[in-house]
């Protein structure tokens, strides 16, 4: 088990969502104008729904948060049902009543939108909190393996494995190219929540928790006290005993 990662074990995906929402709410209460890097995909949706429930109940105010897009398909028209921005808007920005956002501009040339994105992130002082999911091949955002720690914000060609896992979301073609926040943006986040739920993530989580850090499994480059891996029992099953100090249930 990697000693440089904090693993928080939870019984199920609902508990992961509540723990993640508690963590985010505590950060926002400590510092209202938080800048948050926002993954889409299935895993964080329950967390965003839990945050939305708290916002609607009036117990949480996220109005000073800036939401930063993590990744986007390249070459989509605007609007497009496959757009990750639209997914992020539906699941995070609108229900959480967030008004400040940084996104990849679908109308700009890829190198221009990457440059503008990095400039916008730098102008707001970088990322305070990254909310990430774990790709089956260890990708973070669309940083496909191999992605070194200094991989910049850029255009990437998606791997066959990622195309296959993305295919579940649409009947139509999956774009083969994407834009992603670079590993250097993600790894510079002042804190990170990596959400891992479900039996399908068992092998990937095992590699993250036990393998050596390597660009061949980009998520393994996350390290340090400010990184919390929130995983449910289904994903943790068979991982072997975690050191007691690393597990905060």
Footprint on this chain of ligand F6R (rule: CB under 6 A): 39-43, 70-71, 84, 133-135, 139-141
Query: Which residue of this chain has its Cβ atom nearest to ligand F6R in the complex?
Result: 133
Given the residues 50, 137, 143, 232, select the one marked as catalytic.
137
Give SS3 for 167. Answer: helix
Which residue do the tokens 């679908």 mark? 106
β-pair partners for 245 = none
C-alpha 236/C-alpha 11 separation (Å) is 10
Q: If you search the block for the tokens 């965003």, which residue do you land on?
A: 48
Q: How far is the CB of 166 from ligand F6R (least distance, A)?
A: 8
> 10 or 40, CB closer to ligand F6R?
40
Active site residue 137: yes
Active site residue 23: no
Least Å from the CB of residue 69 to ligand F6R: 8
Spot the catalytic one: 50, 72, 144, 232. Answer: 144
Out of 23, 50, 118, 139, the active site residue is 139
Contact (CB, 8 A) for 21 and 50: yes
Q: Is 131 helix (H, G, I), strand (E, B) or coil?
A: strand
- For residue 112, the minimal CB distance to ligand F6R (Å) is 21
DSSP annotation string for 72-91: EESS--SS-TT-HHHHHIII
Residues recognised as catalytic? 71, 137, 139, 144
């Amino acid at each position: 088990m990697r000693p440089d990662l904090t693993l928080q074990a939870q019984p199920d995906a609902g508990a992961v969502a509540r723990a993640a929402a508690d963590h985010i709410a505590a950060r926002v209460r400590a510092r209202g104008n938080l800048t948050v890097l926002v993954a889409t995909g299935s895993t964080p949706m329950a967390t965003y729904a839990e945050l939305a429930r708290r916002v609607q109940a009036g117990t949480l105010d996220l109005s000073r948060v800036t939401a930063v897009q993590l990744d986007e398909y390249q070459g989509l028209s605007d609007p497009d049902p496959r757009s990750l921005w639209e997914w992020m808007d539906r699941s995070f920005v609108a229900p959480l009543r967030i008004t400040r956002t940084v996104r990849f501009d679908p109308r700009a040339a890829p190198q221009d939108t990457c440059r503008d994105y990095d400039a916008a992130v730098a102008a707001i002082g970088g990322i305070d909190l990254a909310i990430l999911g774990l790709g089956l091949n260890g990708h973070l955002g669309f940083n496909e393996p191999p992605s070194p720690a200094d991989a910049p914000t850029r255009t990437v060609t998606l791997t066959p494995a990622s195309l296959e896992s993305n295919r579940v979301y649409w009947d139509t073609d999956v774009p083969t190219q994407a834009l992603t926040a670079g590993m250097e943006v993600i790894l510079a986040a002042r804190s990170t929540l990596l959400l891992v739920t479900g039996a399908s993530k068992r092998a990937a989580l095992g590699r993250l928790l036990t393998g050596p850090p390597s660009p061949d499994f980009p998520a393994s480059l996350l390290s340090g006290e400010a990184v919390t891996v929130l995983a449910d029992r289904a994903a943790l099953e068979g991982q072997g005993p975690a050191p007691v100090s690393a597990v905060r249930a």
